[in-house]
Structure formats: C-alpha cells, structure tokens
Structure 1
Amino acid sequence: MNTTISRRAAVAALATAVLAGAATPAMAAAPAMAASSAKAASSAQDRPELRKAMNAFVDAGFTGIQLRVRDQQGDWAAGAGVRKLGSAAKPPADGSFWAGSITKTFTATMVLQLVAEGRIGLDSPAADYLPGYGLDERITVRMLLRHTSGIFNYTGEYNPDGTMDEPGIPANGDEWVPNRFNSYKPEELVRLALSKKPRFEPGTQWSYSNTNYTVALLLIENVTGHSYATELKRRITGPLGLRGTLAAGNRTTALPGPHTHGYYQYKDRVIDLSHQNLSLLTGAGDLISTTQDLATFFSALNGGKLLPAPLLAEMRTAIPTSIPRQDYGLGIWAQDLGPGCGTVYQHNGSPPHGYGALMYSSPDGSKTLTASVTWLDSATRGSAKDFLTLVDALVKQEFCDTPTGQTRPDNPGSAF
C-alpha cells in the first residue's frame, strides 16, 4: 500500500514506496506452536520500553496500535489507544487488520515455491506462463518479483516528491473514497497496465509497482490451475496454522472478529474503513491478517521452513532502490538500520487509508516485530505525517543494541 517522502509518495510505493508444496514436520507442528505462543504472550514479562514506543503513536494522534514482539525474552503482545472512535476499549492484542503490501511477501513466497518444484523458471519470460496478455518477452519472473519489469503501475505512477506523474485507478485520497467498494478483476487491472507506456525498458531500473504482483497472482493461478486463495491455504496458511490470514479477493469485506477501526475524513464525514473492497490490490495488497500470523509466517520464512536455502538466498539478494539503505529482493526488503543495529528483513504495508501494518525479522527468523497501526486519515494527512519516524523508533527499540529513535532518519521505514 518512503524515504522522507510524503504518505502520498508512500502510497506511490503502494502504488511506488513463499518448500515445494509439502509440509515439513516443523510446519505441521505450527498450529500447536501458534497456540502456545498465544499463551506465552499473556505470561511474558512486561516490556516498558516497547510500551513507551507504542504510546508515542497514541501521543502523536494515532487512534490505536497492536504490537507483537518475539525474541529471547519470549512472545509479548499488547495494544494501546482505542479500538474505535467513541470507545474506551483498547485495541485487541491480536485483532485482524488489512495487511496491505505485506501481501507481496506471501505472493513471492508462493511463486518461489513453484520455482522449487520446477514448474516456473525464475529467469524465464513471464509471458511463457501467461500467454495472451502481450507481456514483453524480455520481462522475467524475477523482474516481476523485484519490481524491475518496467510495467506501468495501475494505481498510478508518482514522482519522487509524491506528485502524480501518470494517473491510474485512484487508490487514495478523496477521489478514492466514493469508489472504495468497486470490484476489479486481476485480468482487467493487468490489461489496463499493459495498455500504458512502460515506465522503462525491462531490467534497466527499479520502480515499485502493484501490477507486478497482480501479474504474479495470475501466474500462480495459471500454472497451478487453482485460485490464489486455494494455493495460499495449501502452501502457507494451512501448514503454518495461520487461522487469521486470508485473501479478501474480489468482494466487499468487513474485517472479521475483534479488530481496530481506521478512518478517513471525507468532506464533512468520518468514513470507517474496516469495511471495503480491496480487489484493486489483488495479489499485491489484499490480505487480512493478525500480528500472531505475520510473526509465525515471517519467522518460518526467514528460518528456512518455507523455501529451500538457495531460493531463500535468491529472495534476499537485494538491489538498491530509490530509498536510502533499503534494498529490494524478491518480495522482501533488506533494511540497514545503522550502527549497532545491522540488517533486518521486512515488508510493511497499508491499504489506501487509515491502516498501517509492520512485519520485521532478524536474518535467522529468531526475532520478529509485527504490528498494526490505525488513525483518522485525511487529505491533509493529520497524524500520518509522523508515521515513518515513529516506526523507525519502534523498530530500533527492538533490533538495535542502543536504540535512540530521537531524530528522523534518512531511511524512515519501507515502501508500502
């Protein structure tokens, strides 16, 4: 759904800036692990330093945050702020939320699993698996996952300063709100993108594009003969026991179960965004998840339980982007947090407005930070202007030896 860019440019990153299909014994045991981790979360010692970093979001005007950290001290989860406007109830520690572009990591993982099975060639033309779309034969599967294909972003192309370069389907702002229940098919999104002039020659530059991952969704479906949702359940959510993760798909959906509410100020109304249609971002940003599910998934991925070691290494082989100290691999960011911190792997996300999702891991998967943040969004941005600075402080609190988080960094978070 970056750098010192505005949130609109981060939506330019929404719109700028996963095993061979069989469960391993560790994956088969995941449901029990998930249950035990929930118990551990309730009994883990308190983490005042994390509570302080959480409360900084509330103090800055965000309505709520739910956070989960898994590290050597155990599994710790908590919420701060309120669940919804007009209520005193706190956010649930493991409520559901829109995961936004975190979806891309799930999509990339499934594509790489198909590579492991020999059903897809990572450096083969994507057109080999999707005939009839007119894809440039020079565009490889790797280029799709790495955002180097040059294919036009169907939600619009933005300049580095956040201004619109070439419009697409509105995915944010007042123009999007009246159309938030519109239904889109992935085929029509891809055909729209391919009707536009490419941003650059395949493989010559990097530019974050939702289209790449909607093409990847179609590739998964065409190669397997099954829906994206079916493959997601068979390959990831089922084996790992991720009961709170699902693809919203081509329908209007309300967040299930306990959840926090994100909002948008539209003219003289406050719009509750816990109910919308995310088919505009199919395969690229339409997952619903929880902090527990994301922690389990990302720990398993980085711990080598979802992909063979050579393909995990391919996934994490990242190239420079337009964002300082953040390189992009295949559906995953490698972020250098600076001295005393080292590198973390991550992918954050946001649907069009009111929600932000975080997913971070140490290289070995032993330490994870997952979170969801909600706020009252508006055309004037409101509290969202501080989002990247606050995320940086929170992440450094967990992953750095001497966290400070006192100044705005030159790499304050990832693309959405």
Structure 2
Amino acid sequence: MFRQRRALRGALTLAAAAGVMVSALTGTGAAQARGAAPGAADQARLSGLLHRLTTVDGGPGTLLHLRDRRGDTVLTSGVADVDSNAPVPRDSRFRIGSMTKPFVATVVLQLAGEHRVSLDAPVERYLPGVVRGEGNDGRTITVRQLLQHTSGIPDYLTYLDKQEVLNNPLAHHDARDLVNIALAHPPTFAPGTDWHYSNTNYLLAGMLIEKVTGNTWNQEVRRRIITPLGLHDTSAPGDSTTIPEPHPRGYVRPGQNAPLLDLTAFNPSVAGPSGAMISSGGDVDRFLDALVNGRLLHPAQLREMMRTRPTGDSDGRAYGLGLESRPLPCGGLYWGHGGDIFGFETVGGATVGGSQATVMVNLDPGGTDAQSDDMKTAVQAALCQSRSTASR
C-alpha cells in the first residue's frame, strides 16, 4: 500500500509483443480520431504489454494514457468490474497513491519560492516539538530531507496494522497519530546519510503546509495546482470514501490464491498527503507535463526538485524532491513517480519537452511481483514510441 516497489529487473522484449492484438483492447482518443494514432506495430507492442498485465500478472483491468504532440491516445485491457465484466472506461478516474507526493512536493517548493519555507531549515522551525522520540529529532532533520526521503524517519506503514485497515476501510485516520506510530521506533539511519522511502516524510510535509499557510494540504493542492491547470478529474479528498464516476472497481487480493476483495469504498485519510489523491490518466499526464516543463515552479525550485540522489536500484532510479528519474531504454531520462494504495496501482512518467504516459491497474496489493515492473515497462515503451514517431 502506497509503497515504492522493488526496482525494474529488466525490460520485456517488446518484439515478442509485436502483432499481438486482443479484442478486449481499445484504442481511442482525440489523436486517433484525427488519424494521428500510433502506427499498427507500435500500438500492438503497447497492447501486448497491457494484455500481459491482465493475464500473466493477474490484474482485472488496466489503462494506458499517452499524451504527446499528436494528442491523446488511450488503450485499455481487461475489465473494470469482475462481476459485470464491464470494460475499463477510457476516461477512468482512480486512486493514484504515492503519485500524490509530487503534488505535495510542488506546493512545498512553491512556498520555498515565496520565501515562506527554507528547504535547508530544520523541520523543528515549522513543526516545533512534533518530530521527537526514539532518537528521531526534528531539530536535526531538514525540509529537503523529508522531500527526498533522506530523513531517516521510519515509515509508519511498516508498523501499521493493515488487517485492521482492511477490516475497517471507512475509518478516519489522523495524520499526527500515524506520524506517532513511526516515531515510536528508532530512525532508519542518521539524517542525510542514506536514502530510504518513508511515507511518514510526506505526512509531515502535509502538516508543514498547513502550519505555514493556515490551510490544509488538500486546499493548497487544489488552489495551486488542480484549479490553475484545469485538472477536472483530480481531487485531494479528506475523508470522502468514494471515487467520482466513471471509475473501475478497486480490488485487493488479501492472500495468495484468495478471491478478490472489492475495496473501492475506502477512506484515504490513512494515506493523507503521502497518497490520498484521485486523478485520471489524462490529468496525471497534464500535471507531469506542466511540472517538468516549468509551468508550476520557478527555475530555481525546479532545479532543486530535479537534484537527485541514487536510490541503489539496479535500473538507475534516482530520487529528487518528490520526483524521480529513470533512464529510458531509447536514451535519456524520464521523470515521474509511482503509486500504490488499496485497490489501485499507478505509474506515470514524462520527458522534458516531450511526451507523457500513465498506466493504471485496478489491483493492489495482490498482483504478481512483476506487475510493477511491467507497468514501468509500458510507460517506457510509450515514451520511446512517442519519441521515435516524432523523429520520423
């Protein structure tokens, strides 16, 4: 749940997917309606990757949204509802899990650009007395270290009773209580000496936003990002347990070979600013485009966001301030994030000055170990395909 999964172990051989077309896959969108869709071979490769997600990997349904200079292309595979076998809506909304983090980091960096937050100031300046216990100390941890996961603060999800969340999915969770779950345990390492993904960092970032602005992180994300960009499918809910229509059902497989559990109705306060948001493929792509191309941050703050450090993953993943980079198999880097939350997994990526791609599967947790890897491969394939087509 809301975790960053293990690194990509190796790209699928796209040639093996060439020519694979499945009746359950649908290609539509403005670009295709204008005859500007990917070529048949390109679309077959992407369709084959999506088909793998809903067969070999076990996901009920999946969606890929590609946005480039030609417009929008949408491909789907599988079903939105395992009972009705309804197809995945091409304009689906879904929970995006940790893809929320780039939104929250953007707000903090905007506040830094307004000289209301200093990235290298101690967290104690903004949240006095909050980060204490078992060796965790907000006087020695900076705002930058929160956003880059170099604080050493433990991840509350490691200690959260997830079965209790499954048993009571509509229950409210207070961010301070979740932070205190983490602070009851010693730091993972001394601040600034290593890298370890911790959702607690972004609970604290959300609390910092509220302390500095007087508004909740949800309100600031709406005011500063969602409304200016016209992201009509995107929301930062508090305790709302529903997803606006249209949307696929969100499923969990609670144990190996266990039947799917429908967890579409779920209170995202257990994730809060670390992973509570809802969006669509098109909106995630528009957000990433605006972010990496400098329409949300001043150049100085965007440079800070893109100052990465290696995570130690074998695929070259590096983490900035709420935004991560990976090498593309066709050369260069792409920027984005992934997200897991009960019912959904999302992966999104964008190239500077280029295209954007987002993939969603409506199963989490419970897919195969390869699900995350295959989603990243689909994003990479879409971005490389777009680059190749643009150069023709």
Into which bin does the TM-score normalised by the smaller protein fall?
Answer: 0.7 to 0.9
**Partner residue, 1:195:** 184
Partner residue of 1:96 out of 71, 93, 96: 93
Amino acid at match of 1:196: H
The 4+ residue runs of structure 1 with deviation greater than 6 A are none
Let me know the Cα RMSD of the aligned residues.
2.4
Partner residue of 2:155 out of 144, 153, 156: 153
CA distance in 2 between counterparts of 1:175 and 1:228 reads 26
CA positional deviation for 1:243: 1.4
CA distance in 2 between counterparts of 1:102 and 1:76 reads 21
CA distance in 2 between counterparts of 1:118 and 1:253 reads 36
> TM-score of the superposition, structure 1-length normalised?
0.79
CA positional deviation for 1:106: 0.4
CA distance in 1 between counterparts of 2:94 and 2:155 reads 24
Amino acid at match of 2:293: G
Distance 1:108 1:4, change over 3 A: closer
Kept in 1: contact 2:356–2:383 (CA 8 A): no
Partner residue of 1:292 out of 278, 282, 290: 282
Distance 1:323 1:93, change over 3 A: same
CA positional deviation for 1:362: 0.3
CA distance in 2 between counterparts of 1:368 and 1:68 reads 8
In the alignment, is residue 400 of structure 1 matched against residue 384 of structure 2?
yes
Alignment: residue pair count: 352
CA positional deviation for 1:100: 0.3
Distance 1:103 1:4, change over 3 A: closer
In the alignment, is residue 69 of structure 1 matched against residue 58 of structure 2?
no
The one-character-per-residue Cα deviations of 1:286-331 (angstroms, maximum 9, x if unpaired) are 0011111111111000110000111111101100113220010000
The one-character-per-residue Cα deviations of 1:195-242 (angstroms, maximum 9, x if unpaired) are 321111111111100000000000000000011121111100010011
The 5-angstrom pairing of residues 27-46 of structure 1 reads 39-40=30-31, 42-43=33-34, 45-46=36-37
Amino acid at match of 1:64: G
Structure 2 stretches of 5 or more lacking a match? 10-27, 388-392
Kept in 1: contact 2:170–2:241 (CA 8 A): no
CA distance in 2 between counterparts of 1:298 and 1:4 reads 21
Counterpart secondary structure, 1:357: strand
Amino acid at match of 1:293: D
CA positional deviation for 1:88: 3.2
Kept in 2: contact 1:248–1:278 (CA 8 A): yes
**Partner residue, 2:331:** 341
In the alignment, is residue 390 of structure 1 matched against residue 374 of structure 2?
yes
**Partner residue, 2:317:** 326
Kept in 2: contact 1:44–1:73 (CA 8 A): no
Partner residue of 1:312 out of 289, 302, 306: 302
CA positional deviation for 1:77: 1.6
The 5-angstrom pairing of residues 205-224 of structure 1 reads 205-224=194-213
CA distance in 1 between counterparts of 2:341 and 2:202 reads 15
Structure 1 stretches of 5 or more lacking a match? 7-36, 157-167, 404-416
Amino acid at match of 1:230: Q
Partner residue of 1:59 out of 52, 55, 62: 55
In the alignment, is residue 263 of structure 1 matched against residue 251 of structure 2?
yes
CA distance in 2 between counterparts of 1:153 and 1:290 reads 27
Amino acid at match of 1:125: P
> TM-score of the superposition, structure 2-length normalised?
0.83
CA distance in 2 between counterparts of 1:319 and 1:336 reads 14
CA distance in 1 between counterparts of 2:221 and 2:117 reads 17
Amino acid at match of 1:237: I
Counterpart secondary structure, 2:369: helix
Counterpart secondary structure, 2:273: coil
The one-character-per-residue Cα deviations of 1:315-370 (angstroms, maximum 9, x if unpaired) are 011001132200100001111134x2321111010103x31112100023x30001
CA positional deviation for 1:170: 2.8
CA positional deviation for 1:44: 5.2
